[in-house]
C-alpha cells in the first residue's frame, strides 16, 4: 500500500472481525424511553435446505430462540434499552419497533445490526404469541407512555414456527400469476394461520404476485408440535402448476438438533465428568456442559471446568441456610445458563424436595452401587458394604433425582465383577471407571427422549 501496488483499491483499508456463534433476532417495542423486548426469534436466510443457496429475505423462523439463555437475554435487553436512552439523550426519541440482530459469541452477545422494521417471518412467527392487545401496545409507543398503557407486554406460553411458501426460482427470476389453492384447508389445521405476502386477487381467485408468497405459522405447546402443525398447513397449499411452490423442509433444524445443555453440580474432583467432557470434544455426544457449580471453593471439579473453558461457579452454603433457600439459588444459577439437564457428580448435599420438583425428570445423580442395593451410602463405605455382603458384582447407577434419597427411577447401570482380592479402594477404582461411560449413556437417553424432561 505504501508503494501503491494496489492502485486506488489500496487507498482505503477495511478491517473486519470474524465472529463465530449463533445469530438471534431481538425486536423491541419502543416509546422513546423504554424498550420492551419481544420473544427472541431465529430465522433461516438461505433459500435451500441445509442453509445452502442464495440469501433471501427469510425462508422461515421460530420462537422462542433456545440459544438465548435468561442471562444472555438480560444482556441483550440492556443493549436495546441503552440504545433507546442514548437516542433520547440526543433529543432523537425513537418510537416504533427496533430490530436488533445479535450474534452469540463466547464473549457474549454482540450487536451486528439495527433495523427499523416490524415485518418478515420473524414478525409473522411472533404475533400469534402476543397476548397483550397490539393496538394498545402500538398506541402506548406512539404516545410515549407504553408502561402506562401496557405495564407489561405479555406473551403466551408455547412456541411458534413459520414456513415461507415461495415461488419456484426465488430469489432469482420466478413466475407470477400462479393460482393458489388450499387456504381454507391450511387455516383449518389446529394452531395454524396463513399470512399473505406476495399475493393478489384476480379473476381466477388469489394468485402469486411476488417471490415470498405466503407464510404459514403453526403454534404448539412446544417447538416440535408447532413445527409439525406449520408443515401440515404447508402441505395443504398448492401453487398451480404443482411444482410452482418452493419451501424449505428443514426450518428449525438448529433447535431440533441443539445440544443438551448440561449443568454439573459437585463437591469433589468430579473425575467421572471427564468422560462426558472428552466425548463432547470428540463430537461423540451432542451436548454442551455450560456451567459447573460447587458448594466447595477448592473442589477439583471447578478446576476441571476452568481447564475445559466452562464457567465455574462457587456457590457456598452459609451455616444455618435452609436447604430450600440454598437450592433456590442453585436453581437460579442453573436456569440463568439455560440448563436442560442437571447432573449431580459427587455432590455432598441432600437436595430439597423443592429442587426435585423444579428439576423433575431433568436431574440425574450417579451412585457407586447397583441400586437399590446400598442406597444412602457414600464413597468407600459403599464399596466396603458390598465386600462385607459377599456380593459377586457391583457397579454404578445413574438415576433420576427424587425426594427419596437414591430412590429415583434407574436410567443406566454398569456392572463390574467383585473378586476375592478386592479392597474397598480397588473396587472403588473399578466402579469409578464405569461412571463416566454411564453418564454419557444417560445423556444420550435424555436427548433421545427415552427419559422424561426435555421438550424443544
Q: Within 143-263, where are the H helices?
A: 146-149, 183-187, 223-234, 253-256
Band the pLDDT of 14: cuts 50, 70, 90: confident
Band the pLDDT of 377: cuts 50, 70, 90: confident
Domain extent listing, the chain: 22-254, 259-447
Instruction: Give the pLDDT confidence of 339-366 residue by residue, as tens digits.
Output: 999 999 999 899 999 999 999 999 999 9
What is the arithmetic mean of pLDDT over 61-71?
A: 94
pLDDT of residue 452: 58
pLDDT of residue 17: 85
Instruction: Give the pLDDT confidence of 393-413 residue by residue, as tens digits.
Output: 999 999 999 999 889 999 999
Q: Is pLDDT above 90 for 13?
A: no
**CA gap 370, 414 in Å, rounded:** 8
Instruction: Give the pLDDT confidence of 215-273 residue by residue, as tens digits.
Output: 999 999 999 999 999 999 999 999 998 789 999 999 999 888 899 999 999 999 999 99
CA dihedral 260, 355, 41, 228 (to 10 degrees): 70
Mean pLDDT of the chain: 93
What is the arithmetic mean of pLDDT over 86-101?
A: 96
Q: Is pLDDT above 90 for 336?
A: yes
Share of the chain above pLDDT 90, in %: 86
Band the pLDDT of 378: cuts 50, 70, 90: confident
What is the arithmetic mean of pLDDT over 7-22?
A: 84
22-254: CATH homologous superfamily? Answer: ATP-grasp fold, B domain (3.30.470.20)
Share of the chain above pLDDT 70, in %: 99
What sign results for the dihedral spanned by CA atoms 123, 128, 132, 138?
positive
**pLDDT higher for 256 or 76?**
76
pLDDT of residue 454: 47
pLDDT of residue 85: 98
Cell numbers for 345:
457428580
**Domain covering 259-447, topology:** Rossmann fold (3.40.50)
Q: Within 238-391, where are the H helices?
A: 253-256, 274-281, 300-308, 323-336, 353-358, 380-388
What is the arithmetic mean of pLDDT over 173-195?
A: 95
Q: Is pLDDT above 60 for 455?
A: no
Instruction: Give the pLDDT confidence of 17-48 residue by residue, as tens digits.
Output: 888 999 999 999 999 999 999 999 999 999 99
Q: Is pLDDT above 60 for 421?
A: yes
Q: Is 172 exposed, middle or buried (0-12, 13-18, 19+ CB in 10 A)?
A: exposed
Residue-wise DSSP of 187-206: HTSTTEEEEESSEEEETTEE
Q: Is 11 helix (H, G, I), strand (E, B) or coil?
A: helix
Amino acid at each position: 500500500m505504501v508503494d501503491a501496488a494496489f492502485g486506488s483499491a489500496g487507498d482505503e483499508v477495511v478491517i473486519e472481525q470474524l465472529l463465530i456463534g449463533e445469530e438471534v433476532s431481538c425486536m423491541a417495542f419502543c416509546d422513546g424511553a423504554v424498550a420492551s423486548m419481544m420473544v427472541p426469534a431465529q430465522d433461516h436466510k438461505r433459500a435451500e435446505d441445509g442453509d445452502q443457496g442464495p440469501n433471501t429475505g427469510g425462508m422461515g423462523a421460530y420462537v422462542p430462540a433456545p440459544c438465548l439463555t435468561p442471562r444472555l437475554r438480560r444482556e441483550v435487553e440492556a443493549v436495546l434499552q441503552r440504545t433507546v436512552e442514548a437516542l433520547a439523550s440526543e433529543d432523537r426519541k425513537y418510537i416504533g419497533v427496533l430490530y436488533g440482530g445479535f450474534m452469540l459469541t463466547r464473549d457474549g452477545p454482540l450487536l451486528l445490526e439495527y433495523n427499523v422494521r416490524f415485518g418478515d417471518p420473524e414478525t409473522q412467527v411472533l404475533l400469534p404469541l402476543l397476548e397483550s392487545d397490539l393496538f394498545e401496545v402500538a398506541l402506548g409507543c406512539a404516545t410515549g407512555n407504553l408502561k402506562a398503557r401496557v405495564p407489561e407486554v405479555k406473551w403466551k406460553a408455547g412456541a411458534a414456527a413459520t414456513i415461507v411458501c415461495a415461488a419456484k426460482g426465488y430469489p432469482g427470476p420466478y413466475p407470477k400469476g400462479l393460482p393458489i389453492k388450499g387456504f381454507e384447508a391450511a387455516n383449518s389445521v389446529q394452531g395454524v394461520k396463513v399470512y399473505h405476502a406476495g399475493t393478489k386477487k384476480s379473476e381466477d381467485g388469489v394468485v402469486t404476485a411476488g417471490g415470498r408468497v405466503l407464510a404459514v405459522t403453526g403454534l404448539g405447546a412446544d417447538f416440535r408440535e408447532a413445527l409439525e402443525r406449520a408443515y401440515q398447513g404447508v402441505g395443504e397449499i398448492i401453487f398451480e402448476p404443482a411444482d410452482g411452490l418452493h419451501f424449505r423442509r428443514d426450518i428449525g433444524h438448529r433447535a431440533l438438533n441443539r445440544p443438551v445443555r448440561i449443568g454439573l453440580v459437585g463437591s469433589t474432583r468430579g473425575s467421572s465428568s471427564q468422560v462426558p467432557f472428552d466425548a463432547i470434544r470428540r463430537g461423540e455426544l451432542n451436548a454442551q456442559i455450560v456451567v459447573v457449580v460447587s458448594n466447595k471453593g477448592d473442589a477439583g471439579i471447578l478446576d476441571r471446568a476452568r481447564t475445559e473453558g466452562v464457567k465455574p461457579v462457587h456457590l457456598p452454603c452459609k451455616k444455618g441456610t435452609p436447604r430450600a433457600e440454598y437450592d433456590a439459588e442453585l436453581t437460579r444459577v442453573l436456569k440463568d445458563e439455560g440448563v436442560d439437564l442437571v447432573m449431580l457428580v459427587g455432590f455432598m448435599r441432600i437436595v430439597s424436595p423443592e429442587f426435585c420438583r423444579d428439576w423433575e425428570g431433568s436431574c440425574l445423580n450417579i451412585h457407586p452401587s447397583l441400586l437399590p442395593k446400598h442406597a444412602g451410602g457414600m464413597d468407600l463405605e459403599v464399596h466396603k458394604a458390598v465386600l462385607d455382603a459377599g456380593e459377586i458384582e457391583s457397579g454404578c447407577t445413574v438415576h433420576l433425582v427424587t425426594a427419596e434419597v437414591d430412590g429415583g427411577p434407574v436410567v443406566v447401570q454398569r456392572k463390574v465383577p467383585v473378586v476375592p482380592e478386592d479392597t474397598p479402594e480397588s473396587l472403588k477404582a473399578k466402579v469409578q471407571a464405569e461412571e463416566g461411560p454411564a453418564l454419557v449413556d444417560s445423556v444420550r437417553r435424555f436427548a433421545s427422549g427415552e427419559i422424561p424432561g426435555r421438550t424443544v
